[in-house]
A and B are shown apart, each in its own frame.
Chain A
Amino acid sequence: MSIQVISPGLLSTFQDEGRHRFQSIGVPVGGAMNPSSLQLANILVGNPPSETALEITLTGPKLLFEEDACIALSGAPVHAFADDTPIPAYRPFLIQAGQTLHFRQDQFPPMSRTCLAVHGGFELSAIMGSCSTDLKNRLGGLHGRALQKQDLIQIRKPLAPRHRQKLQDFFNQLEIYLPANLGLQKKNSIRVIKGYHWDHFTPDSHQLFFNAPFRITPQSERMGYRLQGPVLALHTPLQILSEPTAFGSIQVPPDGNPIILMADRQTTGGYPKIANIISADLPVLAQLLPGEHCTFSLVELAKAQAIMLEREKKFMALQNQLAHIALQLSACYL
Chain B
Amino acid sequence: MSPTPVHQKNWQFTPEGDACLVIRFRREGISTQVSQLCLQAAQSIANAGLPGISDIVPAFNCVGIHYQASCWGHTPFHNLCQALDSLLDKQPSLSNAAPERTIEIPVCYDPEFGIDLDLLATKCQCSVAQLITLHTSQTVRVFMLGFAPGMPYMGILDKQLDIPRLATPRLTIAAGSVAIANRQTVIYPQVSPGGWHIIGRTPITLFNPEQAPYSLLSPGDKVRFKAISKATFTNLKNKCHEHPGH
Contacts and interface: CB of A to CB of B under 8 A. Distances in A.
Interface in B159-176: none
Interface stretch (B64-72, B85-93, B226-234): B64-72
Among A196, A243, A279, A301, max chain B CB count under 10 A is at A243
A22 interface: yes
B214 interface: yes
A128 B209 CA distance: 7
A241 interface: yes
A193 B18 contact: yes
Interface string A229-272: 00000000000011111111100000000000000001110000
Interface residues of B, number: 47
B235 interface: no
B146 A26 contact: yes
B57 A244 contact: yes
Contact of A23 (B22, B55, B153): B55
B147 A193 contact: no
Nearest to B75: A302
B69 A267 contact: no
Interface string A276-291: 1111000000000000
B209 A127 contact: yes
Contacts of B58: 24
B149 A193 contact: no
B69 A309 contact: yes
B75 A27 contact: no
B202 interface: no
A279 B54 CA distance: 15
A320 to B, nearest CB: 16
B153 A309 contact: no
Given A24-B58, A267-B146, A193 B214 contact: no
Interface stretch (B9-17, B109-117, B123-131): B9-17
Among A22, A26, A277, A312, max chain B CB count under 10 A is at A26
Contacts, number: 139
A196 B147 contact: no
Interface in B213-238: 213-215, 218-219
A25 B218 contact: yes
B144 A242 contact: yes
Contacts of A23: 55, 57, 64, 66
Contacts of A150: none
Among A248, A249, A301, max chain B CB count under 10 A is at A301
Contacts of B153: 242
A155 B236 CA distance: 41
A27 B214 contact: yes
Contact of A266 (B70, B146, B214): B146
A20 B18 contact: no
A160 interface: no
A208 B90 CA distance: 44
Interface of A: 20-29, 127-128, 137, 139, 193, 196, 241-249, 266-268, 273, 276-279, 301-302, 304-306, 308-309, 312
